[in-house]
Amino acid sequence: MSASLAPRRAFAGLVALGALIGAAAVPAAADDHHHGHGHGGPRSSVVIGEVENAGRGHDNRALNSEWVEVKNTGRHSVDLHGFTLTDKQGNRYRFHDFRLDGHSSVKVHTGKGRDTRHHLYQDRRHQIWDERDTATLRDNRGNVIDTESWGRRGHHHGD
């Protein structure tokens, strides 16, 4: 009976080794698509880039001169459908059917315009980004992906 025990032990050892290799490969594959932000939330290659809140006035030109850039730092495209961008006061923009290519960005303007691959418009009639504010990007499940704050002490990128 010891002759049949040796192949079973060898097989069990190979299965265990395969499980260890598989467990080690999963985080490596996940890191290929995402990078962390250290705030305990989901890891994502999508982040808030630059913010321009210089728009003053209520005409469409002034409203479109204020924007928040959303960047994809990864190499793979990301479906932003259902993602939201909010300010401190709770104003919310929801992305609809928009895929952000790898290593690219899109500016989300406050005013009205025609959406393109690099410019989206909230179609608002009033300024929403204040001199001191925080932009928060959430995924389609409501998890905070990234924040960017600015004000008296300048810009602060929250992770």
Interval 99-150: pLDDT, tens: 999 999 999 999 999 999 999 999 999 999 998 999 999 999 999 999 999 9
Residue 114 lies in a domain: yes
Total domain count for the chain?
Answer: 1
Residue 65 lies in a domain: yes
> Which residues does residue 79 pair with via DSSP β-bridges, in sequence order?
99
Residue 9 lies in a domain: no
CATH number of 115's domain = 2.60.40.1260
Write the DSSP assignment of 101-112 as a string of letters: PTTEEEEEESS-
pTM of the model: 0.70
When computed from its CA atoms, the radius of gyration of the chain, rounded to whole angstroms, is 23
Residue 150 lies in a domain: yes
Residue 29 lies in a domain: no
Residue 14 lies in a domain: no
Of 26-35, 94-103, 115-124, which range is least confident? 26-35
> Which residues does residue 149 pair with via DSSP β-bridges, in sequence order?
134, 156
Q: Which residue type, as a one-letter code, is found at position 122? A: Q
- Hey, what are 148's tokens? 């960017």
Residue 79 has pLDDT above 50, yes or no: yes
Closest CA to 95 of 54, 55, 52, 139: 139
Q: Are 124 and 109 in contact (CB under 8 A)?
A: no
Domain encompassing residue 90: 46-158
